[in-house]
Structure 1
Amino acid sequence: MIHERFNFLRQLIISTVALAACMMTVAHAEKADQDKPIILEAEKVSVNDVRQIYELDGEVLLTKGSILITGEKGNIKVDPEGYEYVDVQGNPESTASFRQRREGPANEFMQGRGQTVTYNAKTELLTLTGDANLKRLHNMQMLDQLRGWKIEYDDVKQYYRVSPPTDAKPDDLPLARAILSPRRKATLEK
């Protein structure tokens, strides 16, 4: 009985957050970011040009156009088509972070944090894992916020998904939270 209630509540939370997120305004990541070079900074950088793998360790800072990813360590793999697959981890004292300017309304950003940040440039899929938090900001004012164990954001489909840990228990509820601003024209023009 408790297990059925938990599964129902879990699916309800995931569905509600996904539905609400789908109603967010349409603004995509800056397309100009795709053509920008990657700038890597870290205490230690290892480069394997043949395999197109870059290992970063210590105060990682990755910049590509308007994309900014920070963390303690990470790696980047580049596929034969030139798309990057980024995986950056935080440490016990600080989380990894992601920030990107949005195309469309001026001064709109997506900003997120988690113990792990992964970004697939080919599919434009961002995944934040471990006490994850994702915000949509306009003129540095928070419009929307998602919180949960794992947040997946598909920029192409404009889809958000908040998931609990696989070993979550019924007593752990609520496992996801969303704060979504009204979708009035006046809100977006401020």
Structure 2
Amino acid sequence: MNEMSTFAGHSHTRAIVTAMLVALALSGFAPIAHAERADRDKPLNYEADNQTYDDLHQVTILTGHVIVTKGTIIIKADRVEVRQDPQGYQYATGTMQGADLAYFRQKRDGLDEYIDGNAKRIDYDGKQDLTTLTSIATVRRLQGLSTVMDQVHGSVITYDGQNDFYTAKAGKDVAGPGNPTGRVRGMLSPRSGAPQPLAGASATLAPASAIEGMPQQ
């Protein structure tokens, strides 16, 4: 194996390790709580400019300034496709055109906290209470509706509402100045202190010694 192949392999491994560390940090330090338990049993409501409905396949397609709600869940996008399986579980896929990003929010059970995020595509799986944000993804943990406690940026971020667990993956869509390879990046507030809003200049991120070389609407 040549030096370039070895370097590429190490870079890929570091990206995976970084994503795992961010996921474990967000889940491990968060209080033991889950997404709102009653959401999956609530009716799905929506507003849109246009709608088509396929009764045979149980598919509804909504377009134009779409807002979908299901309990505490909110999805906003240009287009949302809603499906329902034979067991009654509902699934929604929201996408955006142009430079804008789709939006997702869900309350955490028993706490005045919310998980929200943005991405080009948002997939909600009602059966598993799983939300996947794809392409230029950001997920935040909010105290109330305004104070950002934790935040992570990545190419693909998955939020498991039942287990209150995140995973994040790196990707070229989140590459930019200071992050040419599109590595996962995040911010964690100290749990022992008061929540700190995001303000001021961005901090300079440096690799940990053990593993050398993230709102809209």
The alignment's TM-score, normalised by the length of structure 2, stands at 0.78
Distance 1:22 1:100 in 2: 16
State which of 186, 195, 198 in structure 2 corresponds to 1:178: 186
Kept after mapping to 1: 8 A contact 2:116/2:139:
yes
Distance 2:182 2:81 in 1: 33
2:82 is the alignment partner of 1:50: no
SS of equivalent to 1:172? coil
Distance 1:168 1:147 in 2: 8
Q: List alignment gaps of at least 5 residues for structure 1.
A: none
SS of equivalent to 1:113? strand
SS of equivalent to 1:55? strand
Structure 1 match to 2:10? 5
Distance 2:106 2:173 in 1: 31
Shift of 1:93: 3.4
Kept after mapping to 2: 8 A contact 1:117/1:129:
yes
Structure 2 match to 1:114? 119
Give per-residue Cα distances to partners, 1:91-131, cap 9 Å, x unaligned. 213111101111122x2111110000000010011100111
Kept after mapping to 1: 8 A contact 2:43/2:70:
yes
Percent identity, aligned pairs only? Answer: 32
Q: 1:136 to 1:168 in 2, by over 3 A?
A: closer
Distance 2:170 2:84 in 1: 30
Say which is worse superposed, 175-184 or 140-149, in terms of deviation: 175-184
2:141 is the alignment partner of 1:136: yes
The alignment's TM-score, normalised by the length of structure 1, stands at 0.89
Q: 1:102 to 1:168 in 2, by over 3 A?
A: closer
Q: 1:118 to 1:52 in 2, by over 3 A?
A: same
State which of 74, 84, 91 in structure 2 corresponds to 1:85: 91
Structure ranking higher in strand proportion: 1
Kept after mapping to 2: 8 A contact 1:25/1:183:
no
Distance 1:49 1:34 in 2: 21
Distance 1:88 1:16 in 2: 28
Shift of 1:156: 1.4
Q: List alignment gaps of at least 5 residues for structure 2.
A: 1-5, 196-217
Say which is worse superposed, 10-19 or 144-153, in terms of deviation: 10-19
- Equivalenced residues, count: 185
Kept after mapping to 1: 8 A contact 2:74/2:105:
yes
Shift of 1:36: 1.6
Q: Given residue 66 of structure 2, which amino acid in structure 1 is its aligned partner?
A: V
SS of equivalent to 1:17? helix
Structure 2 match to 1:149? 155
RMSD, matched Cα: 2.1
Shift of 1:32: 2.1
Shift of 1:187: 4.5
